[in-house]
Copies of this chain bind each other. A is one copy, B any other.
Amino acid sequence: MITGNNYIGNKQSAKGETTYKTFNPQLNIENKPIFTEATQEEINEAVHLATAAFKTFRSISRLKKADFLNVVADEILALDDELIETYCSESGLPEGRAKGERGRTVGQLRMFADLVLEGAWIEATIDTAEPERQPLPKPDIRKMLVPLGPVVVFGASNFPLAYSTAGGDTAAAFAAGCPVIVKSHPMHSGTGELVASAIIKAAKRTGMPNGVFSNLNSSGIEVGSQLVKHPGVKAVGFTGSIRGGRALYDLAAQRDEPIPVFAEMGSVNPVVILPEALKNRSVSLAKTYAGSITLGTGQFCTNPGLLLGIKSEGLSEFIKNLSDEIIKIEPSCMLHPNIIGAYEKNKQKAMSQANLRVAADYELDVQTNYARQAITTVEGKTFLENPNLHQEVFGPYSIVVQCENTAQLTDLISKLEGQLTGTLIADENEASQYPELISALQNRVGRLIFNGAPTGVEVCPSMTHGGPYPASTDSRFTAVGIHSIKRWVRPFSYQDWPNDLLPDELKNENPLGILRHLNGMLTNQNI
């Protein structure tokens, strides 16, 4: 049952006077539950509890931590239909997507439980003493990764489950040993509260300290700002717009003690289509890309918003095919009236730019909050000269840029802002003829895809979800996969520390049997 309350640690709380409701974009009506925004007092209490919880949670055994993560997954599944129905009513997304995203969320939690159980992720590195070394004895030093402290996670509008309350950021932070305070996304606070209740149940069932998790409601920016500025908060995870992410980054950088902000933000995910591929696969490529551009109503951070080619008959043909294919696709619902409002505004702004041609625009009547997909096209020179055209239009929209030649295409790529992904569409033996173009593309993205589409982010160890700014505020980390845990940890060394006071990970006996770097060799042997 959704109460509209915050969770301040294990306790429900609603001391504030500001309330709001979520919205069902399919029915175009407000949902019933009334959410109470967190107050400054509740924010302080949540951070205070998280700070206290960190004292024990940061060194809790791997068995207990893995148990907690797995039980969170169990409790999310136990929410059953109520969760799926709430998700759909707050997002306009279909049931299949809700179930798929729940599967991914639960899968991520179990993936981190496995990581924690396996144990080698802490990167134990041991150099034993050489007391006889000249001119100075060598001390015994042992290093491992330790958690940063309380982490604030901002829910994402477009992933009510997988990138929100118990999503990738939260799962990785728990696995690292960091308490989490979620700033719930106002568009799906009901979904958020249900998932929060699952986390709290799991925390109680598995004996986690009170404060290991809190969930704060807010309809505006104030709660998030206060959290990021709070001295007790040690890191921030965010998925959303460039404007939102940058604002949080700036607040964090201006603190007396600056803290890391990992914000995964905007990306137009350039797709380069080489001439031979265009010649030989125009129709199938058009079908694939019409599907990719409209997938999830274009509301994926890896949505291909920029298609790049060299001017030719083949490219003109492709634009026609893509336009034909995309118009055939049934429009679908966006997440919220504000999101479709922004989509229509940004699409119109893009379309009104000089020397831009509209290639396809879905013109039939659609249901309220359903997005009309569109394709535009422009010359390479125009695109290069007009930064407005580089901006993401969040929704089922893409621009095809027709470059004069390979040199202009390469130049254009090298001048793009940082991106999550870049895709190369090429025929056999074609790609090897474009080394400079590929090199330029690699330098602007976090993931390079060959003959596929950027949508679909596989959750696996080899995934990089992140990239040069503004794709993310810190390209040195990925937001997806087991290595995303590295955002929330720091290396820590013990020098000449007594064996019985060392954490198990670093003890001579290697009681956990983990793989460790011992005097330069990787081994799970004891010392």
Question: A interface vs B, CB < 8 Å?
Answer: 55, 59, 125-127, 136, 138-139, 141-143, 146, 148-149, 249-250, 253-254, 257-260, 417-418, 431-432, 438-439, 442-443, 446-452, 456, 458, 460-464, 466-470, 473-478, 483, 486-487, 489-498, 500-501, 515, 517, 520, 522
By Cβ-Cβ distance, the 4 closest A-B pairs, closest first, are A253-B253, A464-B493, A141-B462, A143-B462
Task: Provide the bound-state CA to CA distance between A253 and B251, in Å.
Answer: 10
Task: Provide the bound-state CA to CA distance between A438 and B489, in Å.
Answer: 19
Known contacts: A463-B143, A469-B257. The answer to whether A138 contacts B458 by CB under 8 A is yes
Q: Which of B466, B492, B497 contacts A446 (CB 8 A)?
A: B492
Q: Assess whether B136 is in contact with A456, with CB atoms less than 8 Å apart.
A: yes
Chain B min CB distance to A446 (Å): 6
Q: Assess whether B495 is in contact with A447, with CB atoms less than 8 Å apart.
A: yes
Known contacts: A515-B522, A517-B461. The answer to whether A249 contacts B258 by CB under 8 A is yes
20 residue pairs A–B, Cβ–Cβ below 8 Å: A127-B462, A141-B462, A148-B476, A253-B254, A257-B417, A258-B469, A432-B500, A446-B490, A446-B491, A446-B493, A447-B494, A448-B493, A450-B498, A461-B520, A462-B493, A464-B491, A464-B492, A475-B490, A476-B486, A483-B491
Q: Assess whether B446 is in contact with A258, with CB atoms less than 8 Å apart.
A: no
Q: Which of B463, B491, B494 contacts A493 (CB 8 A)?
A: B463
Q: Assess whether B253 is in contact with A451, with CB atoms less than 8 Å apart.
A: no
Known contacts: A448-B495, A486-B476. The answer to whether A142 contacts B462 by CB under 8 A is yes
The residues of B that contact A448 with a CB separation of less than 8 Å are 492-495, 497
The residues of B that contact A470 with a CB separation of less than 8 Å are 257
Q: Which of B431, B446, B447, B490 contacts A501 (CB 8 A)?
A: B431
Q: Assess whether B258 is in contact with A461, with CB atoms less than 8 Å apart.
A: no
Q: Assess whether B493 is in contact with A447, with CB atoms less than 8 Å apart.
A: yes
Q: From A126, which residue of chain B is reached at the shortest CB distance? A: B462
Q: From A490, which residue of chain B is reached at the shortest CB distance? A: B475
The residues of B that contact A469 with a CB separation of less than 8 Å are 257-259
Chain B min CB distance to A30 (Å): 34
Q: Which of B148, B442, B522 contacts A492 (CB 8 A)?
A: B442
Task: Provide the bound-state CA to CA distance between A439 and B51, in Å.
Answer: 13
The residues of B that contact A490 with a CB separation of less than 8 Å are 446, 464, 466-468, 475-477
Q: Assess whether A496 is in contact with B451, with CB atoms less than 8 Å apart.
A: yes
The residues of B that contact A452 with a CB separation of less than 8 Å are 139, 495-496
Residue from A138, A438, A449 with most neighbouring chain B CB atoms (10 Å): A449
The residues of B that contact A474 with a CB separation of less than 8 Å are 260
The residues of B that contact A489 with a CB separation of less than 8 Å are 476
Task: Provide the bound-state CA to CA distance between A464 and B143, in Å.
Answer: 7
The residues of B that contact A458 with a CB separation of less than 8 Å are 127, 138-139, 141
Chain B min CB distance to A477 (Å): 7
Q: Assess whether B495 is in contact with A450, with CB atoms less than 8 Å apart.
A: yes
The residues of B that contact A439 with a CB separation of less than 8 Å are 55, 59
Chain B min CB distance to A241 (Å): 16
Task: Provide the bound-state CA to CA distance between A418 and B306, in Å.
Answer: 45
The residues of B that contact A491 with a CB separation of less than 8 Å are 446, 464, 466, 476-478, 483
Q: Assess whether B257 is in contact with A498, with CB atoms less than 8 Å apart.
A: no
Q: Assess whether B478 is in contact with A431, with CB atoms less than 8 Å apart.
A: no
Task: Provide the bound-state CA to CA distance between A148 and B461, in Å.
Answer: 21
Q: Assess whether B450 is in contact with A494, with CB atoms less than 8 Å apart.
A: yes
The residues of B that contact A148 with a CB separation of less than 8 Å are 475-476
The residues of B that contact A138 with a CB separation of less than 8 Å are 458, 460
Task: Provide the bound-state CA to CA distance between A193 and B403, in Å.
Answer: 46
Task: Provide the bound-state CA to CA distance between A142 and B439, in Å.
Answer: 17
Q: Which of B249, B253, B487, B501 contacts A249 (CB 8 A)?
A: B253
Q: From A141, which residue of chain B is reached at the shortest CB distance? A: B462
The residues of B that contact A461 with a CB separation of less than 8 Å are 125, 127, 143, 517, 520
Q: Assess whether A449 is in contact with B501, with CB atoms less than 8 Å apart.
A: no
Residue from A136, A254, A463, A486 with most neighbouring chain B CB atoms (10 Å): A463
Task: Provide the bound-state CA to CA distance between A149 and B462, in Å.
Answer: 22
Task: Provide the bound-state CA to CA distance between A458 and B142, in Å.
Answer: 12
Q: From A503, which residue of chain B is reached at the shortest CB distance? A: B442
